[in-house]
Amino acid sequence: MAAQSDSSSSEAGSYQGSTNRDAGHATRRIAQWVAATTWRDVPMVVRHEAKRALINYVAVALAGCTDPTVDKAVRTYQRFSAGLSAGVIGRRERVDMLNAAALNAISANVFDFDDTHIPTIIHPSAPVAAALFALAQTQPISGEALLLAFVLGVEVECRIGKAVSPEHYQRGWHITSTCGVFGAAAAVAKALGLSAQQLVWALGNASAQAGGLVETLGTMSKSLSVGNAARNGLLSALLAADDFSGPDAPLEGTRGFVRVAATAPKLDALTDGLGHEWALLSNTYKPYPCGVVLNPVIDACLDLRRDARWRLDDIERVELTGHPLLRERTDRPNARTGREAQVSAQHAVAVTLATGLAGLAQFSDDAVAEPSLRAFGARLRFIDAAAFPLEAAEVALVLRSGDRVSRRIDAARGSLAAPLADVELAAKLRELAAYGGWGVAPQPLIDTLWRFDSETDAATLMQLACVN
């Protein structure tokens, strides 16, 4: 999906409709575009999507803020905090801004309930928003300036992700972490008003700190690398602000990130349509706290459960048809924790069919420990269908009687074709604030974010989101 800019007069407009003739100078062109782009250049639909993304970000950070993962991280990070300048969403503790960026990104990612950029499967908001709100607590930034920096940071990380997808993820790199550090660096550099040259250096500094492995999925370590993306991206821009220099082509260089991260990177993706096509318009928000490829599976199971004339014991096997990535990411028959359950089709199918629910409680340690659900997972069979889009799946129940019932979902709830409405995102924030927010009032947060471009001080949001 693309949208036209409502400005044709700014320097940013000169980058629209780019081609691969300039792929050899991609980093500098991206830096020049980020430095030149103003809020006037951002279409209204993208501005609104930025607010939706931040509502979802705050919601999921509130949900995760009291999880044991965050508790442990806070205790350790506090030992090395250089000050008390920034808060942690949903908590009383204050730390320095680098550690705040890390902790708030960890919190937003811990339940795998954060947003998803469909072309890359990047969770774009956590690394970028966490870095920006940490910065906003240490120096004056308006809501409009933060929103602009957020839009541009998301654009940068997702373009880099498109350049290395799908091979990068398939080779085992956690793409949110590896690309998120670039988005955070670009966003903070924009908020600091850095020059195009300093932006190049910020991206170069980020390239030296990109990391994260798919092997960590289902463990606390996965959120650690997302936290590092926010922290290291913020650090990269702060260093660049002091003219801490880096390579001229950290993205497209002979040994730059995209050439190292993929054997056949799509260099055109870095700059094609820059200022004309917007990554946020391909962003989605989850109705369930699990891997995005499980959304259509859960939708199908909920439909089957709603009309059920069978009991769980009547099911001989479950046939799950979907894109091969569904099996690759979620074939985890022996999930031991709620965190592992977030990426386990076996658990998602069992708990949804058994309870007719798919909320945070259904992906908890207690739910995973239920013997009947663990046993049921062995009845699941995957069927790869490359023609299925990621947002689609079919669940078929083969009953012991010989009957067969099935549901196919072509567009999962929360997908680009069936997006969550504004009221649903606001309801998600209210629900997740009640789950983990320790008394943080959700409605002032919602009201502030819908009018955030008129806020004179972006730190107002963090004052509302933290416990005093």
In a domain, 227, yes or no: yes
Q: Nearest to residue 231, comparing CAs of 94, 131, 136?
A: 131
DSSP string, 165-210: TTHHHHTTB-HHHHHHHHHHHHHHHHHTT--HHHHHHHHHHHHTT-
Would you say how long the chain is, in residues? Answer: 468
Distance CA 236, CA 133 (A): 16
Can you give the pTM of this predicted structure?
A: 0.90
User: Across the beta sheet with 380-384, what order do the strands follow?
Assistant: 380-384, 315-322, 393-399, 404-409
Do 307 and 455 sit in the same domain of this protein?
A: no
Do 268 and 305 sit in the same domain of this protein?
A: no
Do 311 and 360 sit in the same domain of this protein?
A: yes
Do 180 and 275 sit in the same domain of this protein?
A: yes
Read off the CATH number of the domain in which 149 is found: 1.10.4100.10
Give the model's pLDDT for residue 23.
Answer: 58
Do 405 and 425 sit in the same domain of this protein?
A: no
In a domain, 5, yes or no: no
Distance CA 66, CA 72 (A): 10
Range of the domain at 383: 292-409
Give the model's pLDDT for residue 38.
Answer: 98
Do 32 and 97 sit in the same domain of this protein?
A: yes
pLDDT, one tens digit per residue, over 403-428 is: 999 999 999 999 999 999 999 999 99
Q: Is 283 left (phi over 0), alpha (psi -120 to 50) or beta?
A: beta
Do 333 and 447 sit in the same domain of this protein?
A: no
In a domain, 398, yes or no: yes
Q: Which residues of 286-296 are buried (b: 16+ CB within 10 A; e: fewer)?
A: bbbbbbbbbbb
pLDDT, one tens digit per residue, over 172-223 is: 999 999 999 999 999 999 999 999 999 999 999 999 999 999 999 888 999 9
Q: Nearest to residue 227, comparing CAs of 73, 8, 53?
A: 73
Do 128 and 257 sit in the same domain of this protein?
A: yes
Do 296 and 218 sit in the same domain of this protein?
A: no
Domain boundary among 409, 439, 455: 409
In a domain, 414, yes or no: no
* Number of domains the chain contains: 2
Give the model's pLDDT for residue 3.
Answer: 39
Question: What sign does the dihedral 44-47-52-55 (CA atoms) show?
Answer: negative
In a domain, 416, yes or no: no
Q: Which of 5-9, 216-220, 274-278, 300-304 has the lowest mean pLDDT?
A: 5-9
pLDDT, one tens digit per residue, over 267-285 is: 999 999 999 999 999 999 9
Do 432 and 320 sit in the same domain of this protein?
A: no
Read off the CATH number of the domain in which 354 is found: 3.30.1330.120
Do 271 and 233 sit in the same domain of this protein?
A: yes
Distance CA 58, CA 239 (A): 27
In a domain, 3, yes or no: no
| 19 three-class SS | coil
Do 401 and 455 sit in the same domain of this protein?
A: no
